[in-house]
Amino acid sequence: MSGTSEKKLVRIDVSSDTVCPWCFVGKKNLDKAIAASNDKYNFEIIWHPFQLNPDAPKEGIDKREYYRRKFGSQSERMEARMSEVFKNVGLQYSLSGLKGNTMDSHRLIYFARQHGLDKQHDLVEELNIGYFTQGKYIGDHKFLLESAAKVGIEGAEEFLKNPNSGLKEVEEELKTYSGNITGVPYYVINGNHKLSGGQPPEVFLRAFQVATT
């Protein structure tokens, strides 16, 4: 019997930050590409940390205020553009709430991986939905724990309570996976095929094909 019906493995290492809107757009498009090619491939998706602003305060600052300070008069145009991009993936973009340090969210995403790659992937979705569409603060432990509970991750409260839990591992991954990249989202498919930015589903589909031939 020929093995033509056997599915090929596609491993995707994703570097992203939980306050990066293009990372969430990229995830939604990646999910579409995966759904469209599940009959051909088995997928292994691993999320790695990146920090756009490692020095961001733990207490958080108002998102609109932050973008006004950083981008000045361009900030309103950027918000309108992002709202349009989110609408195209079926989401309503919101700039309500706070923006701040993402380290605790990355520690939790690392912890989720210990419970399985599917749970890690689902947690990234919950965190993004809350932060980008519901005005939740990415540094708020209550929000982080609610997200963990929604996807069935046990032991998250005890883990997050200790600020050193997972810290060394996340810092190590920041060096290993993010040390040589300048922006996110960034994807490495089967170890050698690289993509960056919030690519449309068809770009991912082509990349799966190239990476498995």
Domain boundaries, the chain: 8-211
Residue 110's pLDDT band, with cuts at 50, 70 and 90, is very high
| Percentage of the chain exceeding pLDDT 70 | 98
For residue 211 the two structure tokens come to 């990476």
Please tell me the predicted confidence (pLDDT) of residue 44. Answer: 98
- Residue 2 pLDDT more than 50? no
Amino acid at 88: N
Q: Which residues fall within 8 angstroms of residue 153, CB to CB, at 6 or more apart?
A: 111, 112, 115, 119, 123
What CATH number should be reported for the domain whose range is 8-211? Answer: 3.40.30.10
- The type of residue at 87 is K
pLDDT band at 1 (very low <50, low <70, confident <90, very high): very low
| Per-residue buried b or exposed e for 145-155, using 16+ beta carbons within 10 Å of the residue's own CB | bebbeebebee
How confident is the model at residue 179, as a pLDDT?
87
Average pLDDT, the chain: 95
- Say yes or no to pLDDT of 124 above 50: yes
Q: Please say if the pLDDT value at position 3 is more than 90.
A: no
3-state secondary structure of 42: strand
